[in-house]
Amino acid sequence: MTELKKRPVRSYILRQGRLTKYQENGIKRFSSKYTIPFQKSLINFDQVFSKKNKIILEVGFGMGDTTFKMAQEMHDLNFLAIEVHSPGVGSLLNKINLGQLENLKIIQHDALEVINEMIPDRSLDGIHIFFPDPWPKKKHHKRRLLKSSFLELMESKLALAGYIHIATDWEAYALQIIDLVKESKFYKISKRNLNEKPQSRPLTKYESRGLRLGHQVWDIIITLR
């Protein structure tokens, strides 16, 4: 009898929801121009982007509002954004086309597989992880994206002067991340006031709703030692 392969623990549950006509149209019309298919070979960023700028990877962009605004305002950076959910992909594709952005590309696939298979070592100047699912129930903590194994993987992909910027409004998750960084031999926290939003990160709709509810937001920026 062959042994069953153990299924990996995902940091998300794939609930696609219904695509609006506008989102569906965005995927049909603009995927070929602005998305990169998942493949088990390393990306050549010089071929993907028209300009040789620093590379920022965003893991899980939701509906893409923050991603689009940052790429639109920061023409001197190239953004590679990963998301699994089609409504967000369709929404961001429409935004990219309307803005005619050349410095933003999308991969619709599991982020860990993309990072393992497609991202060259020491190629990323920044990694953005804004409001990852906190999986608040203790039995679901194993689904949290940010764990020691993930941080170790990210270390190999970061350029020596690179950074990871994590934002969360879930205090227990923030404290866990801080502990992981303190325990890591690779990283240090470079931002002193963790409850002050950097100007470079736009305010999100999700964040605005949380602030109205009295939630505190943590912006944790870490660099290599």
Enzyme catalytic residues: 133
d(CA 53, CA 222): 21
Closest among 99, 169, 160, 184 to 134, alpha carbons compared? 169
d(CA 42, CA 187): 25
- Per-residue burial over 175-190, b if 16 or more Cβ lie within 10 Å, else e, is ebbbebbeebebbeee
| Sheet architecture: strand order including 54-59 | 104-107, 77-82, 54-59, 124-130, 158-168, 218-224, 187-189
Decide: 125 and 162 in contact? Cβ < 8 Å: yes
- For residue 158, what are the β-bridge partners? 124
Q: Residue 132: phi, psi to the nearest 5? A: -65, 155
Decide: 153 and 187 in contact? Cβ < 8 Å: no
Residue 192 makes CB contacts below 8 A (sequence gap 6+) with none
Question: Tokens 């305002």 map to which residue?
Answer: 73
